[in-house]
Amino acid sequence: IQEGVAALGGYAEIFQRNVLASGVIPQISVIMGPCAGGDVYSPAMTDFIFMVRDTSYMFVTGPDVVKTVTNETVTAESLGGASVHTTKSSIADGAYDEIECYQSVTDHDLSLDRLIPDNANKPYDIKELIMKVADEGDFFEIQQNFAKNIVTGFGRVEGRTVGFVANQPMVLAGVLDSDASRKAARFVRFCDCFSIPIVTFVDVPGFLPGTAQEYGGLIK
Protein backbone atom coordinates (compact mmCIF):
# COMPACT_ATOMS: atom_id res chain seq x y z
CA ILE A 1 0.00 0.00 0.00
CA GLN A 2 2.74 2.42 0.95
CA GLU A 3 4.40 2.04 -2.47
CA GLY A 4 1.33 3.60 -4.12
CA VAL A 5 -0.33 3.19 -7.49
CA ALA A 6 2.91 2.33 -9.31
CA ALA A 7 3.30 -0.85 -7.27
CA LEU A 8 -0.30 -1.85 -7.93
CA GLY A 9 0.31 -1.32 -11.64
CA GLY A 10 3.28 -3.66 -11.42
CA TYR A 11 1.08 -6.35 -9.90
CA ALA A 12 -1.43 -5.85 -12.72
CA GLU A 13 1.24 -6.40 -15.38
CA ILE A 14 2.18 -9.73 -13.80
CA PHE A 15 -1.45 -10.80 -13.51
CA GLN A 16 -2.05 -9.88 -17.14
CA ARG A 17 0.70 -12.27 -18.21
CA ASN A 18 -0.90 -15.02 -16.14
CA VAL A 19 -4.19 -14.38 -17.93
CA LEU A 20 -2.63 -14.36 -21.39
CA ALA A 21 -0.84 -17.63 -20.70
CA SER A 22 -3.91 -19.29 -19.20
CA GLY A 23 -5.05 -22.22 -21.32
CA VAL A 24 -2.05 -21.78 -23.60
CA ILE A 25 1.01 -22.41 -21.43
CA PRO A 26 0.78 -24.72 -18.41
CA GLN A 27 1.74 -22.64 -15.36
CA ILE A 28 3.31 -24.13 -12.25
CA SER A 29 4.06 -22.21 -9.05
CA VAL A 30 6.43 -23.43 -6.35
CA ILE A 31 6.09 -21.60 -3.02
CA MET A 32 9.39 -21.79 -1.16
CA GLY A 33 8.78 -19.19 1.56
CA PRO A 34 6.27 -16.54 2.70
CA CYS A 35 3.82 -15.42 0.01
CA ALA A 36 1.41 -12.83 1.35
CA GLY A 37 -0.85 -9.98 0.32
CA GLY A 38 -0.87 -9.12 -3.37
CA ASP A 39 1.82 -11.71 -4.03
CA VAL A 40 -0.64 -14.59 -3.58
CA TYR A 41 -2.82 -13.70 -6.55
CA SER A 42 -0.32 -14.59 -9.26
CA PRO A 43 0.32 -18.17 -8.10
CA ALA A 44 -3.42 -18.52 -7.41
CA MET A 45 -4.02 -17.88 -11.12
CA THR A 46 -1.60 -20.61 -12.22
CA ASP A 47 -2.59 -24.19 -12.98
CA PHE A 48 -0.71 -25.95 -10.20
CA ILE A 49 0.75 -24.83 -6.87
CA PHE A 50 3.28 -26.83 -4.88
CA MET A 51 4.50 -25.80 -1.43
CA VAL A 52 7.46 -26.64 0.77
CA ARG A 53 6.56 -28.03 4.17
CA ASP A 54 7.28 -25.89 7.25
CA THR A 55 8.84 -22.97 5.33
CA SER A 56 6.18 -21.78 2.88
CA TYR A 57 3.02 -19.81 3.65
CA MET A 58 0.26 -18.27 1.56
CA PHE A 59 -2.34 -15.84 2.87
CA VAL A 60 -3.97 -12.56 1.89
CA THR A 61 -3.67 -11.13 5.41
CA GLY A 62 -1.01 -12.30 7.87
CA PRO A 63 -1.31 -13.29 11.52
CA ASP A 64 -0.67 -9.75 12.80
CA VAL A 65 -3.47 -8.27 10.69
CA VAL A 66 -5.84 -11.08 11.67
CA LYS A 67 -5.06 -10.43 15.34
CA THR A 68 -5.63 -6.69 14.98
CA VAL A 69 -8.89 -6.93 13.06
CA THR A 70 -10.56 -10.01 14.52
CA ASN A 71 -8.60 -10.55 17.75
CA GLU A 72 -7.98 -14.11 16.54
CA THR A 73 -4.58 -15.51 17.48
CA VAL A 74 -3.12 -17.67 14.75
CA THR A 75 0.33 -18.70 13.52
CA ALA A 76 1.58 -18.39 9.96
CA GLU A 77 1.61 -22.17 9.66
CA SER A 78 -1.97 -22.66 10.88
CA LEU A 79 -3.20 -19.72 8.80
CA GLY A 80 -1.61 -20.51 5.46
CA GLY A 81 0.96 -23.28 5.73
CA ALA A 82 1.42 -26.14 3.29
CA SER A 83 -0.75 -28.50 5.34
CA VAL A 84 -3.61 -25.99 5.41
CA HIS A 85 -3.63 -25.47 1.64
CA THR A 86 -3.35 -29.16 0.81
CA THR A 87 -5.95 -30.45 3.28
CA LYS A 88 -8.40 -27.58 3.91
CA SER A 89 -8.40 -24.82 1.30
CA SER A 90 -7.34 -27.04 -1.67
CA ILE A 91 -5.27 -24.11 -2.95
CA ALA A 92 -2.09 -26.20 -3.21
CA ASP A 93 -1.71 -29.39 -5.22
CA GLY A 94 1.08 -30.89 -3.16
CA ALA A 95 3.42 -30.35 -0.22
CA TYR A 96 6.98 -31.65 -0.18
CA ASP A 97 10.37 -31.15 1.40
CA GLU A 98 12.44 -28.60 -0.50
CA ILE A 99 14.59 -31.03 -2.48
CA GLU A 100 11.66 -33.34 -3.13
CA CYS A 101 9.63 -30.38 -4.35
CA TYR A 102 12.25 -29.42 -6.92
CA GLN A 103 12.54 -32.99 -8.13
CA SER A 104 8.80 -33.40 -8.43
CA VAL A 105 8.23 -30.39 -10.68
CA THR A 106 11.45 -30.51 -12.71
CA ASP A 107 11.52 -34.06 -13.98
CA HIS A 108 13.77 -33.68 -17.00
CA ASP A 109 16.62 -35.10 -19.00
CA LEU A 110 19.81 -33.39 -17.84
CA SER A 111 21.44 -33.97 -21.22
CA LEU A 112 19.08 -31.36 -22.68
CA ASP A 113 20.89 -28.74 -20.62
CA ARG A 114 24.13 -29.53 -22.44
CA LEU A 115 22.74 -29.95 -25.94
CA ILE A 116 22.36 -26.27 -26.81
CA PRO A 117 25.72 -24.46 -26.52
CA ASP A 118 26.15 -21.29 -24.47
CA ASN A 119 27.70 -19.59 -27.50
CA ALA A 120 24.84 -18.51 -29.76
CA ASN A 121 27.17 -18.65 -32.78
CA LYS A 122 28.04 -22.30 -32.25
CA PRO A 123 25.85 -24.71 -34.27
CA TYR A 124 24.24 -27.84 -32.87
CA ASP A 125 22.23 -30.68 -34.36
CA ILE A 126 18.52 -30.12 -33.78
CA LYS A 127 17.85 -33.78 -34.58
CA GLU A 128 19.51 -34.74 -31.30
CA LEU A 129 16.99 -32.56 -29.47
CA ILE A 130 14.07 -34.06 -31.37
CA MET A 131 15.19 -37.59 -30.55
CA LYS A 132 15.49 -36.65 -26.87
CA VAL A 133 11.89 -35.47 -26.89
CA ALA A 134 10.39 -38.24 -29.04
CA ASP A 135 9.36 -41.49 -27.35
CA GLU A 136 12.22 -44.01 -27.41
CA GLY A 137 14.21 -41.56 -29.55
CA ASP A 138 12.22 -42.73 -32.57
CA PHE A 139 12.03 -40.06 -35.29
CA PHE A 140 11.04 -40.61 -38.93
CA GLU A 141 12.34 -37.71 -41.02
CA ILE A 142 10.55 -36.50 -44.14
CA GLN A 143 12.47 -34.99 -47.11
CA GLN A 144 15.74 -35.27 -45.23
CA ASN A 145 17.83 -34.49 -48.33
CA PHE A 146 15.91 -31.37 -49.38
CA ALA A 147 16.16 -27.95 -47.70
CA LYS A 148 18.27 -29.37 -44.90
CA ASN A 149 18.11 -26.08 -42.99
CA ILE A 150 14.71 -27.17 -41.73
CA VAL A 151 13.80 -30.58 -40.34
CA THR A 152 10.38 -32.19 -40.67
CA GLY A 153 9.21 -35.62 -39.62
CA PHE A 154 7.08 -37.79 -37.39
CA GLY A 155 7.49 -39.20 -33.94
CA ARG A 156 5.49 -39.92 -30.81
CA VAL A 157 5.20 -37.97 -27.58
CA GLU A 158 3.55 -39.78 -24.67
CA GLY A 159 2.37 -42.38 -27.17
CA ARG A 160 0.64 -39.91 -29.49
CA THR A 161 1.78 -39.33 -33.07
CA VAL A 162 3.07 -35.80 -33.64
CA GLY A 163 4.78 -33.90 -36.42
CA PHE A 164 8.09 -32.16 -35.73
CA VAL A 165 9.14 -28.95 -37.49
CA ALA A 166 12.49 -27.49 -36.50
CA ASN A 167 15.18 -25.16 -37.78
CA GLN A 168 18.52 -26.88 -38.26
CA PRO A 169 21.40 -24.69 -36.99
CA MET A 170 23.91 -27.07 -38.59
CA VAL A 171 22.81 -25.92 -42.08
CA LEU A 172 22.89 -22.23 -43.02
CA ALA A 173 22.51 -21.48 -39.29
CA GLY A 174 18.88 -22.57 -39.58
CA VAL A 175 17.93 -19.59 -41.72
CA LEU A 176 14.63 -19.74 -43.62
CA ASP A 177 14.78 -19.66 -47.41
CA SER A 178 12.08 -20.29 -50.01
CA ASP A 179 12.77 -24.03 -50.22
CA ALA A 180 12.71 -24.50 -46.45
CA SER A 181 9.51 -22.46 -46.17
CA ARG A 182 7.74 -24.55 -48.81
CA LYS A 183 8.97 -27.77 -47.22
CA ALA A 184 7.67 -26.77 -43.79
CA ALA A 185 4.38 -25.41 -45.16
CA ARG A 186 3.63 -28.61 -47.10
CA PHE A 187 4.35 -30.72 -44.01
CA VAL A 188 2.18 -28.54 -41.78
CA ARG A 189 -0.70 -28.75 -44.28
CA PHE A 190 -0.46 -32.55 -44.24
CA CYS A 191 -0.54 -32.63 -40.43
CA ASP A 192 -3.48 -30.27 -40.41
CA CYS A 193 -5.47 -32.50 -42.79
CA PHE A 194 -5.08 -35.48 -40.49
CA SER A 195 -5.34 -33.58 -37.19
CA ILE A 196 -1.78 -34.47 -36.20
CA PRO A 197 -0.38 -32.16 -33.48
CA ILE A 198 2.77 -30.26 -34.42
CA VAL A 199 5.79 -29.74 -32.17
CA THR A 200 8.02 -26.86 -33.28
CA PHE A 201 11.57 -26.01 -32.27
CA VAL A 202 12.50 -22.49 -33.30
CA ASP A 203 16.07 -21.21 -33.46
CA VAL A 204 16.14 -19.07 -36.56
CA PRO A 205 18.13 -15.91 -37.39
CA GLY A 206 15.53 -14.83 -39.95
CA PHE A 207 14.97 -15.08 -43.70
CA LEU A 208 17.79 -15.50 -46.19
CA PRO A 209 18.08 -12.25 -48.18
CA GLY A 210 18.86 -11.95 -51.87
CA THR A 211 17.34 -11.81 -55.35
CA ALA A 212 17.31 -15.60 -55.69
CA GLN A 213 15.02 -15.84 -52.69
CA GLU A 214 12.71 -13.07 -53.87
CA TYR A 215 12.53 -14.62 -57.34
CA GLY A 216 11.78 -17.94 -55.68
CA GLY A 217 8.63 -16.56 -54.08
CA LEU A 218 9.87 -16.17 -50.50
CA ILE A 219 6.95 -13.86 -49.71
CA LYS A 220 4.52 -16.78 -49.97
**Domain regions of the chain by residue span:** 5-105, 111-215
Report the CATH number of the 111-215 domain: 3.90.226.10
CATH 3.90.226.10 for the 5-105 domain, yes or no:
yes
pLDDT of the residue at 11? 82
Asked, colleague to colleague, whether 5-105 and 111-215 share their fold, the answer is: yes
How confident is the model over 113-131, as a mean pLDDT?
87
Looking at every residue in the chain, the average pLDDT score rounds to 88
> Average pLDDT of 185-211?
91
| Confidence check: pLDDT of 115 > 90 | no
Q: How far, in Å, CA of 89 to CA of 95, rounded? A: 13
pLDDT digits (tens, 9 = 90+) for 43-76: 999 988 999 999 999 999 999 999 999 999 999 9
In our burial notation (b when 16+ CB lie closer than 10 A, e otherwise), range 177-191 reads bbbbbbbbeebbeeb
For the chain, percent of residues with pLDDT exceeding 90: 57
